[in-house]
Amino acid sequence: MYELKINGRTYRVSAYEDEPLLWVIRERLRLTGTKFGCGMGVCGSCTVLIDGKAARSCLVPVSSVAGKEILTIEGIPENHPLKKAWIEEQVPQCGYCQSGQIMEAYALLLENPRPTKKQVIERMSSHLCRCGTYNRIVKAILKASGGKT
């Protein structure tokens, strides 16, 4: 039994110690905004924040996060500037990668509230978007930060 702090709420959940956090979040707690993409930490679709740092939840064993603060896409308010910019810049097409992209962008803005375009591109380069909306993603992040788009 693990006690997990997710989006400011405490959950008690039974899981295997090596069970990926992704599956605990999605299947046991039914927080389905975090997506399964590749299962190997390559695509970024499953990104969540653990103690304020972006992490690929498909690679994180649930036993390693007990007592840590976990933030999923559901924990970011709908009126957050990042989510608003995402809509204004019409980022999503299929939308599948978007929660992971937003979580990585959120972590970036926590670390660096006013990143340059180059810093945004470098940070987001490890996330895959099959629809190819990379330019819109960069514009949305810069807009949310109040920087130049």
Per-10-residue mean pLDDT, the chain, length 149: 96 95 97 94 96 97 96 96 94 86 97 96 90 89 83
Residue from 44, 81, 74 nearest 59 by CA = 44
Distance CA 31, CA 141 (A): 24
Distance CA 64, CA 119 (A): 29
Query: What values do phi and psi take at 110, rounded to 5?
Result: -65, -40
- Look at strands 2-6 and 69-71 and give their pairing: parallel
Tell whether pTM > 0.75: yes
User: Taking a C-beta distance cutoff of 8 angstroms, is the pair 110, 75 a contact?
Assistant: no
Q: Which pLDDT score is estimated for 120? A: 96
Q: Which pLDDT score is estimated for 131? A: 82
Q: Where are the alpha helices (DSSP H) in 1-133?
A: 21-23, 81-88, 98-111, 117-124
Distance CA 52, CA 76 (A): 13
Could you tell me the domains of the chain? 2-75 (3.10.20.30), 81-144 (1.10.150.120)
